[in-house]
Amino acid sequence: MTLEILTSDSLAPLRHGFFTRKGGASSGVFAGLNCGQGSSDQDDIVTVNRARVAAAMGVELSNLTTLYQVHSATVEVIDAPLTNRPKADAMVTATPGLTLGILTADCQPVLFADPQAGVIGAAHAGWRGAVDGVLEATIDAMETLGAKRDQITAVIGPSISQAAYEVGPEFFETFIDNDPQNSRFFTNGKNGHYQFDLTGFGLHRLRESGVAHAEWIRHCTYSDPDRFYSYRRATHAKEADYGRLISAIRL
């Protein structure tokens, strides 16, 4: 099966892609393009999948850079292929040929670019990372490489939508304690719960940071099992594990 790669005109002409699960070699609960080295999928199959992504991005597998993601606001500046995966949730580079890859299964994969300065970035932004400032930290790191925030485009890829993201009152209170204005990202749900707008929150943080353009490509990971992996959907189905989607960008 052919790979399915979602793109944004806003990131053109840079090569990038929000890869769906289609076109991969994994089977079972991982069926498709599982690129998660932290999953319980077979290592050799994950490597095959990652090699297909690298080929689609026009690079050697060694140039496809991913991180050991830990829901932090830590950003790595990358100038050469990595031999290990540092614990971080975002990375930036000004080195042509390096491909930055972010793994997600409901959280926001965010690709950044300042083509004029020749600087790109990629971030994994779940609710914790977004609250702690991973998006702003990525922009700051891009500036250290010569980017200008008013030239940066940021695009959020497939993520869980508000309709599918039910949270409890403690979660709501965490956001309100951080900023009472965050109530705008919640609607009332059932049985005292709320529905959280993760991508709305992400877009707000990006736009407040002063980037030139921010958008979400409007695909919900939870509600489209044929195309996307979803941690929450796998949990609801009581599956033993789940695949990880990859989103990538290169200069």
Q: Which residues lie across from 214 on neighbouring strands?
A: 154
pLDDT of residue 247: 98
- CATH number, domain with residue 42: 3.60.140.10
Q: Nearest to residue 202, comparing CAs of 131, 102, 112?
A: 131
Query: Residue 114: which residues within 8 A CB-CB, separation 6 or more?
Result: 120, 142, 147, 148, 151, 152, 153
Q: For residues 168 and 226, what is the distance between their CA atoms, to the nearest angstrom? A: 28
Measure Cα distances from 87 to 51, 76, 230, 243 in Å: 22, 9, 22, 20
Instruction: For residue 121, give the H/E element and its range.
Output: strand 119-125
| Residue 53 identity | V
Residue 165 clears pLDDT 80, i.e. is over it: yes
Q: Residue 208's CB: how many other CB atoms inside 10 A?
A: 11
Q: Please count the structural domains in the chain.
A: 1
- Overall average pLDDT of the 125-130 stretch: 97
Would you state the pLDDT for residue 83?
Answer: 87
Q: What digits encode the pLDDT tens for the residues 65-96?
A: 999 999 999 999 999 999 899 999 999 999 99
Asked if residue 169 has a cis previous peptide bond (ω within 30° of 0), the answer is: no
Amino acid at 25: A
Give me the domain span that covers residue 93: 5-250
For 22-49, write each residue's pLDDT tens digit: 999 999 999 999 999 999 999 999 999 9
The mean predicted confidence, pLDDT, of the chain is 97
Convert the pLDDT of each residue in 211-248 to its tens digit. 999 999 999 999 999 999 999 999 999 999 999 999 99
Q: Of 146, 147, 159, whose CA–CA distance to 218 is shortest?
A: 159
